[in-house]
């Protein structure tokens, strides 16, 4: 598919689409009605699985396969869906646009998911700073209740479910799925050990599935187009439309909906209008601040898809692309990233609690020009001791970008370091 001819499916240019009557006029809730009328829960799961909706929250896992992990319903045991809208990854601003312009698409997707997994209650976890967007979403939820799309015996069927909005606790760690569940339960958002996995023991000890808001917004699109047609959009390994958040040193920063698998060069130079003030590109962080950076000379021919990015040592993440021009101070960038993850570490795991602090402290020495050459390798050593040694992936998220920056722009660290003093 030629990306220039693509017409948005998630955020179409329809005025007042967040009003339920407008959404219904353009086919809204028709797929939810159809699955209630014509499809079994198992058929819905198989269709979503065949479409290979890759999780848009960063992990990229097949949503339908994730749904299939839920055990069969048992009398007296509630089942939950947690929609993750705790959008805290620097460089990421996609979910709030869905909530602002097309909240009913997300609500319909959540209801279809709830039917497929026989969910009793949907909890939408939205970061507390999104006050305006929470208000918009609440209005849309109220409209859906009034129309009978949410509640008891929905549209005369035997299926019932309810939807609740939960204001987030203002911490990055709440976006980690088990930390999110802890926060929903009213506790400090310490991530949980796995196993048991949420499908076996989630919210309040009951079967739970967690999906990103953008992921759930794809579900009505899959049902409308069919899995076969959906998989023809974009890259075969990561099909469907993507909301690309492009920020940094470009002429037209913003959120853009195009098929997956877009060339990074097309996104920067055509979609976002190129580097501001005619400067040269220095690097790109492709999927939010936790993904490894690519140098300017590494992006030629690289596409925004799982396989293409993996081949060059980085990942899709949330498709929140940070574009950096030739004047970017990579030492300062690394410090800013380290300071963020140090601040957001929940402190439960020693390698993360102490390691993020070490990264920040060492990088601060480079800013003050008191670091030695040995501190460069010390940064890499600390990173190695942190990776893969914590309950959740926050430590990894801190390590991956910093290690890549140090390795690829080592000369900038050497330039501000001084030789180590060797005792005589």
Give the containing element (helix H, strand E) for 210: strand 208-212
| Tokens at 277, concatenated | 């003030």
Please state, in angstroms and rounded to a whole number, the distance separating the CA atoms of residues 175 and 73: 27
Please state, in angstroms and rounded to a whole number, the distance separating the CA atoms of residues 312 and 292: 10
By CB neighbour count within 10 A (0-12 exposed, 13-18 middle, 19+ buried), where does 76 fall?
A: exposed
Please state, in angstroms and rounded to a whole number, the distance separating the CA atoms of residues 259 and 303: 11
Mean pLDDT along residues 72-92: 94
Q: What is the pTM of this model?
A: 0.95
Asked whether 73 and 79 are in contact (CB, 8 A), the reply is yes
DSSP annotation of 123: E
**How many beta carbons lie within 10 A of that of residue 342, not counting itself?**
19
Please state, in angstroms and rounded to a whole number, the distance separating the CA atoms of residues 94 and 111: 21
Report the pLDDT value the prediction gives residue 421, as an integer from 0 to 100.
Answer: 54
Has residue 42 got a pLDDT over 80?
yes
In angstroms, the first-to-last Cα distance of the chain is 67
Asked whether 217 and 110 are in contact (CB, 8 A), the reply is no
Q: What is the pLDDT of residues 172-202, one digit of tens each?
A: 999 999 999 999 999 999 999 999 999 999 9
Please state whether the peptide bond connecting residue 211 to the residue before it is cis, i.e. omega within 30 degrees of 0: no
Per DSSP, the three-state class of 257 is strand
Q: What is the pLDDT of residues 385-414, one digit of tens each?
A: 999 999 999 999 999 999 999 999 999 999
Has residue 422 got a pLDDT over 90?
no
For the chain, domain boundaries: 3-230, 235-325, 330-416
Has residue 332 got a pLDDT over 50?
yes
The CATH number of 330-416, from 1.10.274.50, 3.40.50.720, 1.10.540.10, 1.20.1440.230, is 1.20.1440.230
Please state, in angstroms and rounded to a whole number, the distance separating the CA atoms of residues 311 and 301: 11
Has residue 416 got a pLDDT over 60?
yes
| Tokens at 195, concatenated | 């196993």
Asked whether 28 and 20 are in contact (CB, 8 A), the reply is yes
Task: Give CATH for domain 235-325.
Answer: 3.10.20.600
| Tokens at 42, concatenated | 């198992």
pLDDT, mean over the chain: 95
Asked whether 260 and 285 are in contact (CB, 8 A), the reply is no
Mark out the alpha helices in 274-324 (DSSP H runs): 306-311
pLDDT tier for residue 2 given thresholds of 50, 70 and 90: confident
Q: What is the pLDDT of residues 9-33, one digit of tens each?
A: 999 999 999 999 999 999 999 999 9
Report the pLDDT value the prediction gives residue 170, as an integer from 0 to 100.
Answer: 79
Please state, in angstroms and rounded to a whole number, the distance separating the CA atoms of residues 164 and 183: 14
DSSP annotation of 165: E
Q: What are the CA-CA distances from residue 140 to residues 11, 103, 145, 253, 310 (Å)? A: 16, 7, 9, 28, 38
Half-sphere exposure of 258 (CA within 13 A, CB side): 24
Has residue 424 got a pLDDT over 50?
no
β-strands 121-126, 80-85: how paired? parallel
Please state, in angstroms and rounded to a whole number, the distance separating the CA atoms of residues 70 and 270: 43
Has residue 423 got a pLDDT over 70?
no
pLDDT tier for residue 60 given thresholds of 50, 70 and 90: confident
Mean pLDDT along residues 257-280: 97
Asked whether 315 and 306 are in contact (CB, 8 A), the reply is yes
Q: Could you tell me how many residues make up the chain?
A: 424
Torsional sign, CA 87, 363, 309, 177: negative
Strands in 222-335 per DSSP E: 234-235, 238-239, 241-248, 254-259, 281-285, 294-295, 320-325
Please state, in angstroms and rounded to a whole number, the distance separating the CA atoms of residues 43 and 11: 27
Mean pLDDT along residues 263-269: 98
The CATH number of 3-230, from 3.40.50.11540, 2.10.109.10, 3.40.50.1100, 3.20.20.80, is 3.40.50.11540
Report the pLDDT value the prediction gives residue 419, as an integer from 0 to 100.
Answer: 78
């Amino acid at each position: 598919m030629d990306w220039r001819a693509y017409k948005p499916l998630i955020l179409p240019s329809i005025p007042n689409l967040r009003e339920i009557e407008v959404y219904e006029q353009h086919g809204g809730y028709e797929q939810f009605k159809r699955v209630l009328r014509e499809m079994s829960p198992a058929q819905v799961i198989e269709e979503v699985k065949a479409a290979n909706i890759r999780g848009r929250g960063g992990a990229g896992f097949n949503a339908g396969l994730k749904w299939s992990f839920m055990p069969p319903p048992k009398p007296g045991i509630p089942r939950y869906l947690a929609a993750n809208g705790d959008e805290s990854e620097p460089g990421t601003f996609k979910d709030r646009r869905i909530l602002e312009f097309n909240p009913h698409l997300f609500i319909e997707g959540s209801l279809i998911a709830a039917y497929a997994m026989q969910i009793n209650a949907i909890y939408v976890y939205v970061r507390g700073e999104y006050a305006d967007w929470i208000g918009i979403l609440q209005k849309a939820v109220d409209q859906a209740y009034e129309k009978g799309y949410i509640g008891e015996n929905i549209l005369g069927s035997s299926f019932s479910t309810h939807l609740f909005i939960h204001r987030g606790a203002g911490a990055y760690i709440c976006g980690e799925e088990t930390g999110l569940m802890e926060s929903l339960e009213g506790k400090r958002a310490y991530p949980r050990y796995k196993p048991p996995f949420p499908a076996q023991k989630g919210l309040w000890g009951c079967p739970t599935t967690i999906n990103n808001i953008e992921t759930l917004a794809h579900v009505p699109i899959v049902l409308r187009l069919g899995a076969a047609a959906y998989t023809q959009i974009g890259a075969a390994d990561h099909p469907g439309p993507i909301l690309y958040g492009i920020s940094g040193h470009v002429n037209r920063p913003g959120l853009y909906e195009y098929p997956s698998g877009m060339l990074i060069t097309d996104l920067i130079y055509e979609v976002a209008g190129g580097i501001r003030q005619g400067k040269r590109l220095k690097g790109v962080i492709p999927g939010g601040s936790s993904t490894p950076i690519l140098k300017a000379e590494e992006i030629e021919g690289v596409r925004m898809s799982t396989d293409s990015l993996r081949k060059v040592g980085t990942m899709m993440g949330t498709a929140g692309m940070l574009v950096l021009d030739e004047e970017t101070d990579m030492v300062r960038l690394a410090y800013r990233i380290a300071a963020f993850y140090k601040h957001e570490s929940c402190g439960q795991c020693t390698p993360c609690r102490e390691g993020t602090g070490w990264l920040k402290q060492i990088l601060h020495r480079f800013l003050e020009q008191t670091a030695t050459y040995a501190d460069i390798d010390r940064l890499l050593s600390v990173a190695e001791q942190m990776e893969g040694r914590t309950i959740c992936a926050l430590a990894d998220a801190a390590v991956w970008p910093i290690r890549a920056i140090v390795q690829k722009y080592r000369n900038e660290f050497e330039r501000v370091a001084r030789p180590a003093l060797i005792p005589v």
